[in-house]
Each structure stands twice: as structure tokens, then as C-alpha cells.
Amino acid sequence: MSYRKIIEAIAVAAAITAVPAFCQEADVPLDEPIRTISAVVDPDAKAAIAGINAFSLDLYRHTLTIDENHLLSPASVSVAVGLAYRGAQGTTATELEQVLHFGKPPREYLRVNGQILGTMTFAGPQRELRTANAVWLQDEMPILPDYEQDLAAFAKAGLQRVDFRGAAEAARLKVNNWVAESTRDKIKELLQPADVTKKTRAILVNAIYWKGGWASAFDKKQTKSEPFKLLDGGQVTAPLMSQRSNFRVMERGGTYTN
């Protein structure tokens, strides 16, 4: 299978994978200080994170369209396809490992990735991150017990049985309702009617929900309509946020990070 074909297959997975939901409001008091929430993972998990980062850049390069807005969630694609990778063998497993930079055999990678998923659910002052995984499978389709056990143990993924063959629309609504519940109703219509048919046999879903406040919030009163320069050299008027303060900045590898 060519790299382009694999990317096209991943694009399909992305189409059925929940994109992150972002919101600035927070449920906790805004005057409560933001504290660092540490995540401890072993060297194998750190290598897996590096692999996700490498795949993210590859996916960005292969899907970017010049002069168009571009929003995607490589982590969602990696996690969702990783659920399928756990059951892959032979050439399929090799190609998925190479394209998604998994770096480990299928069963071992899911165990390692479980550490990463464990860091993707937390709540703290002014922020909350939640991730949820699920496999929706055709009724009565056989599945190996150890595969189901690993999904539950390492990916916290529930195995849901639906009847795509006899009730595709009802199955679609069940998936959408699950996604809506997992993202606090931020993503309500993940799958469109054409996405699920009587030929569908499995849907892998990763939903990511993020809700957080700014460390240094913008004052709405400081938002003003000002000139904004376009890529083509033209200019439009747009509402621009602004604030003046002192921020820490770090220079690393020719780039600046605050």
C-alpha cells in the first residue's frame, strides 16, 4: 500500500474521529491560581509521544491546503487508528507502524500508549481535559477476548454493539450521542447520514474535550477594530484583542515560546 493510500485511509479515520472542543470559560473560580499538573511517563511512553509528534507533522504536510483554514487533531487520529493497530498483523501492522510512527508491536504499543492516555484526563483550576475512546462493532461480529481485554485495560475503550446492517441510522445516532456526552455537547453531529451505511462494520472513535481559561485573560474592553494584513498583501478591518504586560519568553532552536 502506498503512503498516499495509507494517508487516505487515515483521513477516513479522522472523519469519524472527534476533533477537540475548545472553550475559554471555566467552571472553577477565575481568581484561583493556575498550577502545573505534572505527568509522569516512562521512556517508552516518551518515545511514543515523539512518534505522535512526528506523525502530526506528516499529517499536517499531507493535508494542508494553501490559503485555507486548517484544523485537525493528530492525537485523535493516532489514538483511534491505534485501536485498530492492536488487532493488525503482517503487512497491515507494518504499514500502520511506519506511517503513524508507533514504534512498537501492536500489543506492546497499546500498553505504552495507555500511559499517554492516562495523562489526557485531568481537572485543575481553570482547565479540564477529558478523552474518551470507543469501538462500535456490528452485532454478532466475533472478536478475540484478549483484544477486548486490552482495549478496556490500556485504552479505557468500551466495546459497543450496534446493528449497522439493519439499522444504520440508529447506530449513527448512538455514536453521535456518545460523542456529545463525552464532549459536554460541544460536538453533537460528528457523523453525518452518509458516513454510516449498512456496509459499515466498525467505527473507532476518540473524543477530546478541552476547557480552559487564559493564564492572562484578555480584557474585552481592549478589543478594537484595526487593520489586518492578508497574505496577498491586501488589508481588512478585524476585531483584534490586545493587552500589555510582562511575559516570560524562552528562546530555543531559533523559535520563541512563552
Which is nearest to 82 in space by CA: 53, 104, 66?
104
Give the cell for residue 236: 481588512
First to last CA, the chain: 42
Q: Domain locations in the chain? A: 3-212, 220-257
pLDDT at residue 254, rounded to an integer:
62
Q: Per-residue pLDDT for 69 more than 90?
A: no
Pair 186, 207: CB distance under 8 Å: no
Q: In the structure grid, which three cell numbers stand for residue 192, read together?
A: 453525518
Q: Which three cell numbers stand for residue 99?
A: 506511517
Hey, is 209 helix, strand or coil?
strand
pLDDT in tens, 114-123: 999 988 888 8
β-strand pairing of 202-212 with 127-138 = antiparallel
Give the chain's mean pLDDT: 83
Fold (CATH) for 3-212: Antithrombin; Chain I, domain 2 (3.30.497)
pLDDT digits (tens, 9 = 90+) for 180-205: 999 989 888 999 999 999 999 999 99
